[in-house]
Structure 1
Amino acid sequence: MGDERQDPLQEADTGRDLYGIATWERRSRLDVVSSWLYWLIVRVGKGLVILLASVTAVAIGGIGALTDPVIGVLAAISILPAFVLAGYVWLSDVGGGEPASLLAATFLLGVVTAGFAAVLNGVLQPYFGSLGVVGVVLFFYIVVGPVEETVKLLAVRLWAYTDDRFSTVIDGAVYGAMAGLGFATIENAIYISQAVGEVGGVSLGLGLIGVGGDITATRALAGPGHVVYSSFAGYYLGLAKFNPGSRGPIVVKGLLIAAAIHATYNATVGLGSGLIQVATGLPELVSFVVFVLGYVGCFGYLLYRKLARYRVAYRRVSDGRSGPGTGRGPDTG
C-alpha cells in the first residue's frame, strides 16, 4: 500500500546485496552528501515559508495589532474561551503531555500563517462580491473555509508533524487546536483593531468598556470555532501520519470536514441568529450568542466523542485487555 510497497527483488529476499540495484542506504560519501543536502533543502524551504508568513502577518498589521497595549489586552480577553477549549483538547491527549516548545511553536505558526489566509481572502473576495448573496455563500465554501483550514493545518505540518514527539493520532488534534488558537488570536486582534480605529481609539482603563467590550465579546464567540475546526483537520493529519499509504486522501478528508463546518458557520450565522431573534424576541446580541453556542457546541460535542473513542481504545490496549486486531482500535472514520 503506497509507501509500504517493495520491489520484487526486495520481496524475494535472496540475501543478495541489492544496494544501488533495488535498495539504498547511506554508504558512499555521495550518499552522505545527498542526505545532508536533502535535509538542508527541506529546512531551508520550511524557513522560507515561515519567513514569508511572518512578513505577510506584519504587512497586514496583525503583529502590530497584537503588540499595541490596548488591542493586546482586548485580544487576550477575547481569546480566553478558545484557550479553555484548546486546553481541554490538550488534556485529552492520552499519549503523554506534549512538549511546551512544540505547542508554542505551533501557536506562533498559527499566528503568522493567518496572514496567508488574510491576503488570499482579500484578493479573491471581489470576484464573488458581484454575485450578491449567492456569491457570498460561494466565497465562504470555496475560499474562506478551505483556505483558512489549510493554513492552520500548514502551521502543524511545518514543525510539530515532523517531530518524533508527535507520536499518536490524537496528537494531531492537540496541535490542530493550538494552530486554531494562534489563528483566532491574530484574527481577533485585527478585527478589534479595526473596530477601535473606527471610533478614534480606546485607552486603557475604563475606556476599554463600550466599543472595546462589545467587539471583544463578539470575537470571544468566534475563537472556539477555529479551535474545533482545526482540531478535526489535525486529527486526520495525525491519522495520515500513521497510515502513510493513504496519507493524501486522509488529509483531504480532514480538510473537507473542517472547511465544510467552518464555511457553514459563516454562511448561516447571520440568518440563524436572525431567526432566533424573530422566534424568541431576544435581543440581537443574545440571539447571536445562542446560535454560536448551539452551532459550535454541537460540533464541539462531536469532537469530544471522537477524542473519547480514541482514549477508550488507547487505554484498553495500554491495559492489556485487548491487543491489535482483538478489539476495536482508535476511531478512523
Structure 2
Amino acid sequence: MARDERDPVAARSADSEDLYGVADWEVRTAFDRLVYWLYYGFYLTVRVGVVLAAVAILAAQFVLGGLGAVSNPVLGALTILSAVPALALAVYVWHADVTTQEPLHLLVVTFVLGVLFASFAGVLNGEIGDPVRNLASLGGAVPLLGSVVFFYVVVGPVEETVKLLAVRLFAFRSDRFDAVVDGAVYGAVAGLGFATIENALYITQDADAGLQAARAVTEAGGVAVVRGLAGPGHVIYSAFAGYYLGLAKFNREHAGPIVLKGLVIAAFVHATYNTLVGIVPDVVTTLTGVSPLVAFFGFVVVYDSVFGLLLIRKIRAYARAYRAANPAPATYESERTEFES
C-alpha cells in the first residue's frame, strides 16, 4: 500500500475544503507569485551560471590550452575516431533500454553537458590534485602512493560527479526520464561527451607542444589509439552512476544514499582502472616479453569487459523485470470455419 505523503489534515479532509496556508499551498496571491518566481528564477540562474562557467573554461582551453589544434582536419578526424569505441558502447546501452526510447534532444544536451563539465574536472583535478598528491606521497618520497591516493580521492570522485551533474542538470528533470534504466542511458551519453573532449585534449597536447607537423600527427595518432581503448571506460563508469541516479529518482525516501552508492561504485572502478593501468601492463611486459601496447590493450579489454558485463547484467535484469511487469498482450488466431480453406 502506497504511503500518503500529505499532511494528516489534508489526507483526511474533504477535497472541497480550502486548506490553503493551513495544510496545503498553491500559488494564489501576488506575494505567492513573487516568491515562486524568485525561487525558480534563482534556481534557473544557478543552472545557467554553471553551464556558462563550463563554457568559459572550455573556451579558455581552446584559446590557451591547445584545444584549438583540434580544428586541424587530421587531428579532428583522430579525435572523432578515438571516440568511436565509446560511442558504440553508449549506443548499445541506449538500444538495451526496453522502455520508451529517449528523445534525441535530451541525448544531445546530455552529451554537450558532458563535454562542457569535463572542464570542471580539469580545473579541480589540478587545483586539488597537486596538494593531495604531494601530501600522500610524503613530500615526493613515495610517488606511487601519491598517485594512488590522487586517483581514489580526487580523479575518480571528481570526474564521476561532474558526469552525473551533466545528467542531473537537465535530462533528470524531464518527464521522459521515466524509468530507472534511463539513468544508465543518460549516464552513458554523459560519459561519451566527457571521453570525447578528454580525448581531444590528449590528442592535441603534442601538437601544442611545438613539435614538427609530421611528428605531431604521428604522436597524435598513437595517442588516439590509446584513448580509443580508454574511452569506453568513461561510458561504463558513468552508466553505473546514472543507473543509481535513476533508482534514486523513483525511490525518493532513500535518494541521497542511493546516489552516493552509485558515485562510490563509479569512482572506485574508475580509480582502480587508473591505478592498475600504470602497473599491470608493465608487469605483463616484463614477465612475458610482449610489447607494451599489446599488454596495455589486453589489460583494457579485460578490465572493461569485466565491468561492462556487470553493467549489461544489471540492465538485462531490469529488462527481465520490466517484461515480467508488462507482459505483451496475447494474440489469438481465430479458428477457421468449415467454409475457409
- Fold match by TM threshold 0.5: yes
Partner in structure 1 of residue 195 of structure 2: 184
Match of 2:338 in 1: none
> How far off its partner does 1:65 sit?
4.5
Going from structure 1 to structure 2, the CA distance change for 1:66 and 1:31 (only over 3 Å counts) comes to farther
Q: Which among 187, 194, 211 is matched to residue 219 of structure 2?
A: 211
- TM superposition shift of 1:18: 1.9
Amino acid at match of 2:162: V
Q: Indicate which of 233, 236, 258 corresponds to 2:241.
A: 233
* Residue 171 of structure 2: aligned partner: 160
Per the TM alignment, residue 195 of structure 1 is displaced from its structure 2 partner at its CA by 2.5
**Does the C-alpha gap of structure 1 residues 65 and 248 become closer, same or farther in structure 2, counting only changes over 3 Å?**
farther
Q: Distance in 2 between matches of 1:243 and 1:65?
A: 45
Tell me the equivalent position of 1:50: 51
Q: CA deviation at 1:12?
A: 3.6
**Could you tell which deviates more after superposition, 36-45 or 304-313?**
36-45
Question: For residues 111 and 317 of structure 2, what CA distance do their matches in structure 1 show?
Answer: 26
Kindly state the Cα deviation for residue 57 of structure 1 after the two structures are TM-superposed. Answer: 1.4
The CA distance in 2 between the partners of 1:316 and 1:144, in whole Å, is: 40
Larger of the two Rg values belongs to structure: 2
Q: Percent identity?
A: 49
Deviations 1:82-119 (A, max 9, x none): 00000001101111221111111100000010000000
C-alpha displacement at 1:7, in angstroms? 2.9
Paired position in structure 2 for 1:118:
122
Corresponding position of 1:149 = 160
What is the rounded CA distance, in whole Å, between the counterparts of 1:149 and 1:273 in structure 2?
A: 25
Structure 2 residue matching 1:60: 3-state secondary structure? helix
Q: 1:102 aligns with which of 76, 98, 106?
A: 106
The answer (yes or no) to whether the contact 1:70–1:202 under 8 Å persists in 2 is no
**Which whole-Å deviations, capped at 9, do the CAs of 1:259-300 have from their partners, x for residues lacking one?**
000000001111111222233221111000000110011000
Aligned equivalents of 2:71 and 2:209: distance in 1? Answer: 19
The one-letter code of the counterpart of 1:168 is: A
Asked if the contact 1:169–1:241 (Cα under 8 Å) also holds between the matched residues in 2, the reply is yes
Matched, 1:281 2:300: no
Residue segments in structure 2 that go unaligned for 5+ positions in a row: 138-142, 330-341
Matched residue, 1:243: 251
What is the deviation of 1:201? Answer: 4.9
Give a deviation string over 1:21-52, Cα, whole Å, max 9, x none.
Answer: 12111222332333333332222211110000
* Structure 2 letter corresponding to 1:72: G
Confirm whether residue 174 of structure 1 aligns to residue 182 of structure 2: no
For 1:210, what is the secondary structure of its paired residue?
helix
CA contact (8 A) 2:133 2:149 kept: no
The residue that corresponds to 1:26 in the other structure is 27
2:41 aligns with 40
Change (3 A) 1:150 1:201: farther
Is contact 2:69–2:208 with CA below 8 Å preserved after alignment?
A: no
| Residues 164 and 67 (structure 1), Cα distance of their counterparts in 2 relative to 1, 3 Å cut | farther
- Higher mean displacement: 120-129 or 252-261: 120-129
Unaligned runs of 5+ in 1: 322-333
Contact 1:173/1:235, CA 8 A, preserved across alignment: yes
Letter aligned with residue 57 of structure 1: L
- Shift, 1:240, TM fit: 0.8
More off after superposition, 10-19 vs 272-281: 10-19
Q: Which residue of 1 aligns with 2:60?
A: 59
Pair 1:92 & 2:96 matched: yes
Correspondent of 1:253 among 252, 257, 261: 261
Contact 1:79/1:184 (<8 A) preserved: yes
Asked if 1 retains the 8 angstrom alpha-carbon contact of 2:282 and 2:292, the reply is yes
Sort the Cα spacing of 1:65 and 1:318 in 2 relative to 1 into closer, same or farther, 3 A: farther
Greater mean alpha carbon deviation, residues 57-66 or residues 268-277: 57-66
Q: Which segment drifts farther, 231-240 or 6-15?
A: 6-15
> Do the aligned residues in 1 keep the contact of 2:110 with 2:166 (CA within 8 Å)?
yes
SS in 2 for 1:95: coil
Measure how far apart 1:123 and its partner are.
Answer: 1.2
- Please, which moves more after superposition, 75-84 or 188-197? 188-197
**Inter-CA distance 109–65: structure 2 relative to 1 (3 Å threshold):** farther
- Using the size of structure 1 for normalisation, the TM-score is 0.89
Q: Give 1:271's match in structure 2, choosing from 271, 279, 282.
A: 279
SS of corresponding position for 1:169: coil
State the distance in 2 between where 1:201 and 1:8 align. Answer: 75
Are 1:307 and 2:318 an aligned pair?
A: no
Q: Does the 8 Å contact 1:65/1:189 carry over to 2? A: no
Select between 51-60 and 184-193 the one with higher mean Cα deviation: 51-60
Q: Tell me how far 1:144 sits from its aligned partner.
A: 0.2
CA distance in 1, matches of 2:129, 2:160: 17
